[in-house]
Amino acid sequence: MSSYIKIGQFIEIYYIRIDYKAYVYNYQNAYVDRNITYNSLDHSFLGFVYQGAARNRTGDNIQSSLIIGANALSTGLAKNLLDTRHYAVVTTVQFDNNDNVARQLSQESWVVASMTYDPENVELILSSAIDAVGAQAPNKTLTKDRVGNLPLTANIFLK
């Protein structure tokens, strides 16, 4: 007799304010009939397919994709997330027989980088935040929470 292993994903989409993460959307693709609380956030159901990390065609970065059904709502949502450069954390988990999260299998952090769509699907391309070719990193603001006490006078040098 074989037993099934239940696997699902949680996606948390957010943007960064000066001093905190502002969560915008939290979804899960495991259970249609209910919301699931994970990471202290309530995740509603969204029928999505997550294709995990893979090297892009040019080999200079890694990316993944989030595929959802195409309609006016999903296309508008994807365009908004792209235009405002939201971030996403995708967590893959295994569920136990009581439908509780048994263990976390992986967690990946991404930036919404681009989108494609056709009559059936909208695909959000998620990319790593570091650009290997341009050596670009996301802008960060130095705050007391991130680096401790900051001098009020003098120059700050980053190396």
What is the per-residue pLDDT across 49-63, written as a single tens digit (0 to 9) for each?
A: 999 777 666 666 788
User: How large a percentage of the chain has pLDDT more than 90?
Assistant: 43
User: How confident is the model at residue 135, as a pLDDT?
Assistant: 46
* 20: Cα separation from own chain's centroid: 16
DSSP letter at 60 equals S
Q: Report the b/e string of 48-62 with b at 16+ CB within 10 A.
A: bebeeeeeeeeeebb
Tokens of 150: 């900051």
User: How confident is the model at residue 3, as a pLDDT?
Assistant: 76
Task: Dihedral sign for Cα 146, 149, 155, 159, please.
Answer: negative
More confident residue, 68 or 133: 68
* Cβ-contact 116, 123 below 8 angstroms: yes
pLDDT digits (tens, 9 = 90+) for 32-89: 999 999 989 999 999 999 997 776 666 667 889 999 999 988 898 899 888 888 999 9
Task: Dihedral sign for Cα 68, 70, 73, 79, please.
Answer: positive
Dist CA 113 CA 68 (whole Å): 16
User: What mean pLDDT value characterizes the chain?
Assistant: 83
Q: Is 76 strand, coil or helix? A: helix
* Single pTM value for the model: 0.75
User: How confident is the model at residue 73, as a pLDDT?
Assistant: 87
Q: Delimit the domains of the chain by residue range.
A: 6-147
